[in-house]
Amino acid sequence: MAPTRLKKTITDNPKKLANLIDLANLPSPVREFVGQSQISRLGCFFRVWSYIKENNLQDPNNKNLVNCDEKLRSILLGKPQVELAELPALIKLHFPKVPK
């Protein structure tokens, strides 16, 4: 069952959800990180999140911060540390804007 917030998003603006789940061709740094040539924005976010968890990259003192290794830095604009709230925006930069 989908959370209430997600249901509201789907019913209020179905195009917003489509932008998250539509497959897109990826630029080379993201393609190398993800290991696929096409993936949805949401799928890419989940891959990045699982990479962060697998490699224990969250700051132990502040779980809202991610300490980037070289591989993660390659897709997050070279930043050594990012906040969790920044991740979706930084990932979104790699996905082409879909014309209306």
Which secondary structure element, helix H or strand E, spans residue 62, and what is its range? none
- What would the pLDDT profile of 10-28 be if each residue is shown by its tens digit? 566 555 555 555 666 666 7
Domain map (residue ranges) of the chain: 18-94
Where residue 100 falls among pLDDT bands split at 50, 70, 90?
low
Q: How far apart are CA 83 and CA 90, in angstroms?
A: 10
Question: What's the mean per-residue pLDDT of the chain?
Answer: 78
- What would the pLDDT profile of 26-85 be if each residue is shown by its tens digit? 667 788 888 887 888 888 888 899 999 999 999 999 999 999 999 999 888 889 999 989
Hey, what CATH topology would domain 18-94 get? MDM2 (1.10.245)
The answer to whether the predicted template modeling score (pTM) of the entire model surpasses 0.85 is: no
> Measuring CA to CA, how many Å separate 32 from each of 3, 28, 38, 62?
32, 6, 11, 29
Enter the DSSP assignment of 84: G
